[in-house]
Structure 1
Amino acid sequence: MTLPFPLRALLLAAAATALPAQEATFGLRGHLLLPVGDLPDLASGQLGLGLAGFVDIPVGRGFSLRPVVGGQFIPKGDSTKLPGTKTRITSVDFMVDAVWFPSENPERGPYLVGSAGAQQWQISSAGTTTSTVTHTRMGLGAGLGYQASPRLGFEIKGVWSPITPDITATGLTFGATMRF
């Protein structure tokens, strides 16, 4: 499988950023996705799930970058716009999170997180109307987090990505991070 150029470039940049980092840590993030906007109409308002791996790279006092590779999945649901059609939505994400701890303590306390990168979306419909649409688009996110311990953190983020001119992926994610 060959990744599209924007995804390959972002992945290589993330890997190159991680090489000189002496204190970089690896981690996993899992989240629930509460779709809003166009997505609930496609999959009958079902919650989505997301999982990602990341490298946490400290770049200054209370500031770090997290190259993230992951994905999201919203199971097949009845499309409200196309009766008799079930739609599944997935994404493969190549993002970079910027994380800022106002207390300058990345091991405990509140933080702000902003995300930018590329998302490859796939919308698969089966039933009365059968189709598969795949697009790679920019994705953005912003939110709040709380680092409960040096390893465990919790986040809530708003996310946005324009899949097609008629469909925009927006939602809220509620997740946890685990650093190793």
Structure 2
Amino acid sequence: MDGHRSRIFALKFHPSTFSDLVSGGWDDTVQFWTENQPHSVRRIFGPHLCGDALQIHPETNEILTGSWRRENSLEVWDYNSGRKIQDIPEDDTGHCLIYSCHWLGSDHLIGAGTRNNTCRLFDRDSMTTVGRLGNLPQGVYSTDVAPAGAGRSLIAACCADHVYVLEHRPATS
């Protein structure tokens, strides 16, 4: 396989080596690219991306993928080896077909999509849902995060013809 065999929905430059990037789509692969090569240099088999659900953590060098499928819809991978590190479990609201995901610092991550039409915030250590924008009329097709400073972040999510902006303030000890 010298690249993707179907539609590509996500593409991300590596945050520290801007000549390298990863891509993912309908062919159940994440492909690794570098500017010097005409074809992908390696791949991860498994993630079925149907949206912008591919992120590289700038500090831990881990890849977060969100898949449009019933099981293992959020997964964390080691960038260097391509090995899966962990699956992010579903919560009591059931599975979500993921369209978008993001890292939120090194302690949290976000997954959003359709079927249960939610945007969830996960604690990375406990793997539990610590925040949820739910009961939405349609799926969540896009999200973004912005560090706002002073120990807080902003999360944006869109559903139907609405944009929601949420503030995340990590719990203090």
| Structure-1-length-normalised TM-score | 0.28
**Which structure is higher in helix share?**
1
**Which structure is higher in strand share?**
1
| Structure-2-length-normalised TM-score | 0.29
Q: Which has the higher contact order (CA 8 A, sep 6+)?
A: 1
